Structure 1
Amino acid sequence: MMFGQLSHELEVNVLASEAWEIYGTLGISKLLVEDGSAFEKIEVLEGDGGNGTILKKKFMPGSHGFTVHKEKFTKLDNEKRMKELEVIGEGYLDLGFTLFRVRFEIIEKDNDSCIIKSTIEYDVKEVAVANTSYANTDLVAKIAKVTKNYLIKNKATENAA
């Protein structure tokens, strides 16, 4: 087995609570499908966005080495503004990963800005070490950027009103 960990951080000039309103709910799924840059479809198979929620995500063609995976929310802490999910079917698991976990944290920086921190942890079978290149921060960086753009746009709209 080979273990790896990667992380990505993006600063956003909005309140941490505003960013968490998106990340801490299923609202982020809707936002990502509407954006169309990463996911073609996200289907809730079980749950309401809390612990135990299972999603089936269909990626945009050619964006990954696979088209679909299932993931489960394993931790959701509104107080710490942290959500953790694990791939439980298809996708990374078909590529030889035995664990693929993503943790999103919204970290308050000051009164009007926060950091979206995304951490990926994975285990991959020795025979599939060549597939570790699929474990990268491209997708979590894209998710953070889409969220940032949405939050900044909404903030500008509110300020103009």
Structure 2
Amino acid sequence: MRREIPTTETNRSINVFGTQTADVEIKASSSKTWDVYSTLKVYSVIQSELSHLIGLDVVEGSGEETTISKITPHPDVSTLPAYKEKSTKIDHENKVKVLEVIEGGYLDLGFTCYRTKYELIETEKEDSTTIRVTIEYEGPEEMCATMDIAPVLKVLEVINDCIHTSINCKNHQTTKQPINIKFLPQINQLINMKQTAEVEIKASSSKTWDVYSTLKVYSVIQAELSHLIALDVVEGSGEETTISKITPHPDVSPLPAYKEKSTKIDHENKVKVLEVIEGGYLDIGFTAFRTIYELVETGKEDSTIIRVTIEYEGPEEVCATMDIAPVMKVLEVINHCIVNDKY
């Protein structure tokens, strides 16, 4: 019997995750510095010293975690739309604060997330503290390419000058003392990508789903593909949350053994999602790897389309090596067994 040849269409509409980090030294103790950055005092400094650049209003909270502020850049200074920013983390023990844009601003420009993290690091000197500033963002590649941490550091320069001089900022003219800034190497950008292919199987969707959604699919792989991969079900009995261990034969693939979990089995829409949770792709640089199977009715009783999508995230150079073809080879064998009732 002729086996169906999968046709593959790769979707390269990608989001990029990027970070930029810089270390800034301030001539003040970490406790004194944290007393400003972790409270409403930091908002007061910005309101009094940077009102010619941005408008800032605290719309919810009083400086603690979950406080929300609205920032409105002056149109003569920046084209960035007004936005709301939330304190999502204030860790007093480790002196770490995280702010995340929750509305407007970068989100209106096409980014899916934008956050700023401040970490205070003690130095050997009593009157010296390092502030490590990190901006994290995710969005279309062309948007992320425009990002620059410099404006954030300009704001820090003013705040730090106020802390250093210990003067009431409402009546204080900043001295513009130079500060020591060290830019750290930028972390590799992570890319989200997916590849999709559709293959037709000469069987009804109910018959096909009866195999793909149960332990029967594992039995087929164990029986028909043992020369390529070893598969063991280590937890569950085919339902959602079932975990299997896949060990590719070293003569066939250098991919390390990995565990894969069924994170979704939607019987109504005939959709199954498998996600690597340990080893394998995660050991070679990927931060996520999942496979989605969707059964699509064709209108013919003995014909079903299986849409297969692999989604993965990792450094660009690692993602560039991905190919959906091996997944489709496995499907070819499974589908052949379904058509011929060998399961």
Q: TM-score, normalised by structure 2?
A: 0.42
Distance 2:166 2:87 in 1: 27
Please tell me whether residue 112 in structure 1 is matched to residue 127 in structure 2. yes
Equivalent residue for 2:155?
A: 143
Does the Cα contact within 8 Å between 2:138 and 2:144 map onto a contact in 1? no
Give the secondary structure class of the aligned counterpart of 2:112.
strand
Q: Which deviates more from structure 2 when the two are superposed, residues 52-61 or residues 82-91?
A: 52-61
- Provide the aligned length of Structure 1 versus Structure 2: 152
Equivalent residue for 1:158?
A: none
Say what the alpha-carbon RMSD is for the aligned residues. Answer: 1.8
Equivalent residue for 2:138?
A: 123
Distance 1:47 1:22 in 2: 16
- What are the equivalent positions in structure 2 for 1:14-29 lying under 5 Å apart? 14-29=28-43
Please tell me whether residue 98 in structure 1 is matched to residue 112 in structure 2. yes
Question: Which aligned segments of 4 or more residues in structure 1 are displaced greater than 6 angstroms?
Answer: none
Please tell me whether residue 42 in structure 1 is matched to residue 56 in structure 2. yes
Distance 1:41 1:91 in 2: 13
Gap change, CA 1:132 and 1:62, over 3 Å in 2: farther
RCO greater where, 1 or 2, for CA within 8 Å and sep 6 or more?
Answer: 1
Q: Which has the larger radius of gyration?
A: 2
Distance 1:132 1:54 in 2: 25
Please tell me whether residue 79 in structure 1 is matched to residue 93 in structure 2. yes
The amino acid across from 1:18 in the alignment is K
Q: Runs of 5+ in structure 1 lacking a partner? A: 156-161
Distance 2:134 2:52 in 1: 18
Structure 1 residue 133, shift from structure 2 partner? 4.6
Structure 1 residue 143, shift from structure 2 partner? 2.1
Distance 2:91 2:160 in 1: 21
Q: Runs of 5+ in structure 2 lacking a partner? A: 1-14, 168-343
The structure with the largest helix share of the pair is 1
Gap change, CA 1:38 and 1:106, over 3 Å in 2: farther
Q: TM-score, normalised by structure 1?
A: 0.86
Gap change, CA 1:48 and 1:134, over 3 Å in 2: farther
Please tell me whether residue 89 in structure 1 is matched to residue 103 in structure 2. yes
Q: Which deviates more from structure 2 when the two are superposed, residues 84-93 or residues 21-30?
A: 21-30
The amino acid across from 1:92 in the alignment is Y
User: Over residues 54-96 of structure 1, what are the superposed CA-to-partner deviations in whole Å (9 max), with x where a residue is unaligned?
Assistant: 1101113333331411011111111111110110000000111
Distance 2:52 2:22 in 1: 17
Among the aligned pairs, what percent are the same residue?
Answer: 34
Gap change, CA 1:27 and 1:39, over 3 Å in 2: farther
User: Over residues 99-132 of structure 1, what are the superposed CA-to-partner deviations in whole Å (9 max), with x where a residue is unaligned?
Assistant: 10110111111222101111011110x3xx3222
Please tell me whether residue 4 in structure 1 is matched to residue 18 in structure 2. yes
The amino acid across from 2:55 in the alignment is K
